[in-house]
Amino acid sequence: MRLILLGLPGAGKGTQAKVLAERLGLLHISTGDMFRQASAEGTELGRRAQEFMSAGKLVPDEVTIGMLLERISKPDASLGFMLDGFPRTIPQAEALDQVLEARDEAIDAVLYIQVPEADLMARLTGRWTCAQCGAIYHEQTSPPKQAGVCDLDGTALTQREDDRPDTVRARLDTNREWTEALAGYYRRAGKLHEVDGTGDPTSITTRLLDELAGVQSAREKA
């Protein structure tokens, strides 16, 4: 399966992608994680991307599209993938469709995780992540067993630079219109599945899996 997780910053894309990709045997590809890794490595791409990320803006399409298309061409993506944070613009969605079509492939479903904007600020400003394994925590709703330390590998947790309140506001402003435009693009293609992203993460995972079971059974009947 080739899937896309769509949703505003803080909707839970990363949290859900980790669980779903493992359950479904798909490769989890997060363009945000790729940019953060490049920035931590101090590459030219990372330095350029960091300027946009710190301002809560989108990294330009000419940088992002090439990076993602190269990633999905690697052998480990051939059995299927779950995209988290891509596409974020219509040109990104079109470029993805064109490349998949040339390979006789297509996106199977787009899962749009919907959360009221009023909840997103608290989710993002309370987030802590493990730079080593990517585990995602929240100081109130899903705290680690020991404050500031990853449950899985004992690494010190960090907060993302773009999770400061001012930057979160800028990210929401940047993403609001694009997210709706992308929802329209995939709705017209008959691929959009809207899922309620409120409640505890486990029940959201169940909703997403139920939605995917429907996609799979429709595919088998076709």
HSE-up of residue 74 (Cα within 13 Å, Cβ side): 10
Which segment (72-80, 81-89, 101-109, 149-157) binds ligand AP5 by CB under 6 A? 81-89
Judged by CB, which is closer to ligand AP5: 49, or 192? 49
Which segment (10-18, 72-80, 143-151, 185-193) binds ligand AP5 by CB under 6 A? 10-18
Q: Figure out which of the listed residues 2, 4, 15, 179 binds ligand AP5, where binding follows CB under 6 A.
A: 15
- DSSP 3-state percent helix, strand, coil across the chain (nearest 5): 55, 15, 30
Catalytic residues: 13, 88, 127, 160, 171
- Tell me how far the alpha carbon of residue 106 is from its chain's centroid: 18
CA distance 203 to 208: 9
Tokens of 50: 């960091």
Q: How many CB atoms lie within 10 A of CB 106?
A: 12
Q: Which does 191 bind (CB under 5 to 8 A by kind): Mg ion, ligand AP5, none?
A: none
Q: Residue count at the site for ligand AP5 (CB under 6 A)?
A: 36
Q: Compute the least distance from the CB of residue 79 to ligand AP5, in Å.
A: 22
Measured in degrees and rounded to the nearest 5, phi and psi for residue 31 equal -65, -35
Q: Figure out which of the listed residues 10, 12, 14, 56 binds Mg ion, where binding follows CB under 5 A.
A: 14
Contact by Cβ (8 Å): 56, 162? yes
Which segment (8-16, 72-80, 145-153, 186-194) binds ligand AP5 by CB under 6 A? 8-16
Q: For the chain, how big is the Rg over CA atoms in Å?
A: 17
Contact by Cβ (8 Å): 6, 110? yes
Q: Which does 88 bind (CB under 5 to 8 A by kind): Mg ion, ligand AP5, none?
A: ligand AP5
Q: Which does 2 bind (CB under 5 to 8 A by kind): Mg ion, ligand AP5, none?
A: none
Closest C-alpha among 27, 114, 116 to residue 76 = 27
Query: Counting contacts by CB under 5 A, is residue 7 touching Mg ion?
Result: no
Closest C-alpha among 30, 7, 28 to residue 207 = 7
Site residues (CB under 6 A) for ligand AP5? 7, 9-15, 30-32, 35, 52-53, 57-59, 64, 85-86, 88, 92, 123-124, 126-127, 136-138, 141-142, 162, 171, 200-201, 204
Site residues (CB under 5 A) for Mg ion? 14
